[in-house]
Amino acid sequence: EVQLVESGGGLVQPGRSLKLSCAASGFTFSNYGMAWVRQTPTKGLEWVASISTGGGNTYYRDSVKGRFTISRDNAKNTQYLQMDSLRSEDTATYYCARHNTLNYFDYWGQGVMVTVSS
Amino acid sequence: DTVLTQSPALAVSPGERVTISCRASESVSTRMHWYQQKPGQQPKLLIYGASNLESGVPARFSGSGSGTDFTLTIDPVEANDTATYFCQQSWNDPWTFGGGTKLELK
């Protein structure tokens, strides 16, 4: 059974950093691209970042470029999202998701809440 | 960015047929995918590539369309189909989602 379990969320002040983790199991992690998708009641679902199978290629939405870094450790079956210079508009539930070849997301974690507030 | 427009809400009776639409602001070929999200849960993939049923998803769900106009059909609707349905395109960068259609049962 495919499982994706996020951790690392919480309350953080604007301008500070937070690192999310996503532990994967139930599939060959190194064979799949991975992504982070966030959701808010006002903006809905937003793709945030993606990473290729080996980690050599990364992709970001414009609003997080230069502030967020996606990475993965295939030996640990884990992907990460390092979030720096956080802003109030980054407040959201962040989902870890598995990519499929047509760039849809076939499995999602349960989500982790990130709140950016002073 | 490619904007995906969905009707905010629909209400249907169990046993009926419902179509949920998604219109893209520019062509996305057939790179349209559909998800179901129930309250407090993560999204679940239903349809990929406009019309391909994800493994394990009941055949009551189907998808169609290409270019800019897409539909998700549930026939017949069951009580546990109460959820919000999202479309997502993966043809144009950045990949975007529709605002969701909340399906309620009468």
Instruction: Tell me what pLDDT residue B48 has.
Output: 98
> Which among A47, A102, A111 has CB closest to B31?
A102
Residue range B5-14: average pLDDT? Answer: 94
* Alpha-carbon distances of A108 from A34, B9, B25, B26, B36, rounded to whole Å: 10, 24, 26, 27, 12
Q: Give B42-86 pLDDT, tens digit per residue.
A: 999 999 999 999 999 999 999 999 999 999 999 999 999 999 999
Of B41, B48, B86, the CB nearest to A100: B48
CA atoms within a 13 Å half-sphere pointing along the CA-CB vector of B44? 18
- Interchain proximity A44–B86, CB inside 8 Å: yes
Best mutation target, A38, A42, A57, A103, to test chain B (most B CBs within 10 A): A103
For chain B, give the percent of residues with pLDDT over 90.
98
- The predicted pLDDT at position B54 comes to 97
Which of A42, A45, A110 has the highest number of chain B CBs within 10 A, making it the mutation to test binding with B? A45
Mean pLDDT of all residues belonging to chain B: 97
Average pLDDT for residues A79-86, to the nearest whole number? Answer: 98
Nearest CA distance, B104 vs chain A (angstrom)? 18
Residue of A nearest to B86 (CA): A45
pLDDT at B86: 98
Helix (H) or strand (E) holding A47: strand A44-51
- Asked if residue A79 has pLDDT above 90, the reply is yes
Burial of A58 by CB count in 10 Å (0-12 exposed, 13-18 middle, 19+ buried)?
middle
Q: What is the pLDDT of residue B83?
A: 97
- A44: nearest CA partner in chain B: B99
DSSP state of A30: G
Using one digit for the tens of pLDDT, what is the confidence trace for A9-61?
Answer: 999 999 999 999 999 999 999 999 999 999 999 999 999 999 999 999 999 99
Rounded Cα–Cα distance for residues B49 and B34 (Å):
9
Q: What is the pLDDT of residue B11?
A: 95
| B interface residues, A as partner, C-beta within 8 Å | 31, 33, 35, 41-45, 48-49, 54, 86, 88, 90, 93-100
Q: pLDDT band for A101, please (50, 70, 90 cuts).
A: confident
Peptide bond into A14 cis (omega under 30): no
Mean pLDDT of all residues in chain A? 97
